[in-house]
Chain A
Amino acid sequence: MKVIREKPAVIQRPHNFCAGCSHGVFYRLIQECVEELGYSKRQIIAMGVGCNCNLTLSKIDTVDKFQCAHGRAAASATGIKRMRPDLLVMTYQGDGDCGVIGLGETLNAAYRNEKITVFTVNNLNFGMTGGQMSWTTLEGQKTATSVRGRDCAATGYPIHLPEIIAGQFRPAYAARCAVYDPKTVAQAKKYIRRALEAQINGEGYAIVELLGICPTNWGMSPVQAIEHLQKKALQEYPLGEFAGGEQAELAFLRQEAEK
């Protein structure tokens, strides 16, 4: 049998995320891109607090990681990047870390157009603490703190981080992806790569949100969770690029055509 793709060299051990969790695929795609761009030995990841901590816990790789305070990854990544502008500096966070407790740090880093790349996994709830409501939780969705289903009139409506950042600031890149089938995996990898290239080329801030599944806290099998994601979550959280990438190309082409 011909091996067409090796796992990234830095990944040495299996992860310990729950069965079906999207984290493993997403993180592997990030490291594939980092390797292809030649930055495997020149990268630092500022880690959020949440399920993503399992990456550090399970010691799956040899990558330099910095364990940040809950929500503060974008601030710590700023300190790292300013001291080591030669390195590829990323954050790896959940939706709670990046878009709830750390919303201030996330938006302010985007506001400054800090030359970092933010990766955030949106699984519609707080996974690590056992499935409580997040700002990303869908309307009507049952969680440990919205047991009758989320009442958005009382708790706020689902937050769309890449869209907010693309709409209000001037990031180099903002996109949302998923990893539930080969097509979305290929798309996700393209987005991740563009987000990293934006940093390498000195263009500025980039964010990629992964719309992931959480079979454990959703109380579903992985297959059911994927179906739920396709049927429900995608209605609220469309995949695509909101700033940079093809958006930028299209804008450029439109501008050229007008001339």
Chain B
Amino acid sequence: MQMAKKIMMKGNVAAAEAAIRGGAEFFAGYPITPSTETLETLSFRMPEEGRVFIQAENEIASINMVLGAAACGARAFTTSSGPGMALKQEGFSYAARMELPYVVMNVQRWGVGLGMLDSGQVDYLRDTRAGGNGDYRHIVYAPDSVQELVDDLYEAFDVSQKYRMGVLILSEGYLGQMMEAVELPPFKEIRRPDWGLDGTGEVGLKQLCPTYNMALAHELLPVRQERINRVCREMQRWESVETEDADYVLVAFGLPARVCVDAVRRLREEGCKVGLIRPKLVFPFPYDAFHRVNPNVRGFISVETNDLGQMVQDVALAAKRELPQRNVPVYCYTHSAGVPRVQDVVRYYRSVLDGAVKEVY
């Protein structure tokens, strides 16, 4: 069997190439570390492929440019990090109102305000909920390798158009900056949807946008609920490692999840019954994964690179929902910036066993 060629690519560069191959026709963005290489790559690759690239004056303008392009049915893309993502939130809310599809990649950087350039998973709660006004969600992919980042972006534009929802790729600083051997998929044929503004005033968005029309808004309620329910049903994706007999199950996404895979292996070698659930998407959260763990599991341990613990809330909800008869303790290892080492995770696990740390929920 002939194998596809593996090439070393930086996460951010591979993401740009995957978006192009996935059919991105339009990009607008503003440079911000650690996401900038995606914008830099697209600045020459998009015109090479006859597509649109705009270096916008700021983050707010770039998301609003994306909305304009998306309104015409284009596969539109933007990227950012830290405070730049904060500025884009208003635009996401407007897009949700008009059910506009688009893809945004957040290469998370650790910290609040200006933050730091360090890697981290600090935007989980905002990005899995609604960061702007009103109630809406993104479909949120959380890749753990450059290959998965490529695969997610390649699929994202289709998923976004299928559900008419924004798709968010929750990357992190280290994933954007590191290089990994990847295989790139072939170019997709670009297809424009049959809705969207075409200038005739006949098909357009106006049938879908309930501008200030509350009666129509109420009519849309079941439509919106059904869409979210469908997404929650159809987009359950995760990876489980030895959870069937596990006494303790680690839960982690992105790069910390890879560390946890090694931690599980090491602890298993020592005879500890530990497993791992790695959500591949964090919205919808993979509740189904929790349904299949050892029914006598003694605890879940959320492993995150932030300070206050964020995904632990979803882990607790999943434990309540899937193991309703038992009040399974949920712990949280918050590593702060960067990526934990295997020994950090192992040490935390032992402190759970010792009772040195208390459960959060």
Contact = CB atoms under 8 A, between A and B. Distances in A.
Contacts of B296: none
B199 interface: yes
Nearest to A82: B52
Interface in B203-217: 204-206, 209, 211-212
B197 A44 contact: yes
Interface in B108-131: none
Contacts of A81: 68
B72 A72 contact: no
Interface string A98-133: 000000110010010000000000000000000000
A76 B68 contact: yes
A83 B209 contact: no
Taking chain B's interface residues, is the majority helix, strand, or loop, or is none over half, making it mixed?
Answer: mixed
Interface in B45-66: 52, 54, 56-58, 60-62, 64-66
Given A67-B98, A72-B60, A104-B58, A78 B91 contact: no
B19 interface: no
Interface string B19-30: 000000110100
A53 B209 CA distance: 13
Given A82-B52, A82-B69, A42 B60 contact: no
Contact of A10 (B56, B72, B201): B201
Nearest to A40: B201
A65 B25 CA distance: 22
Contact of B76 (A39, A44, A79): A79
B68 A66 contact: yes
Contact of A80 (B54, B58, B197, B202): B197
Shortest beta-carbon contacts, A-B, top 6: A79-B68, A76-B68, A75-B64, A79-B65, A72-B64, A108-B57
17 contacts: A41-B199, A63-B201, A64-B200, A67-B209, A72-B91, A75-B56, A75-B61, A76-B67, A76-B68, A76-B71, A78-B61, A79-B72, A80-B68, A83-B69, A83-B74, A84-B199, A105-B60
Given A75-B62, A82-B65, A111-B57, 14 more contacts: A41-B199, A46-B68, A53-B211, A63-B201, A66-B197, A66-B205, A69-B64, A69-B90, A69-B91, A76-B65, A78-B28, A79-B70, A82-B26, A83-B68
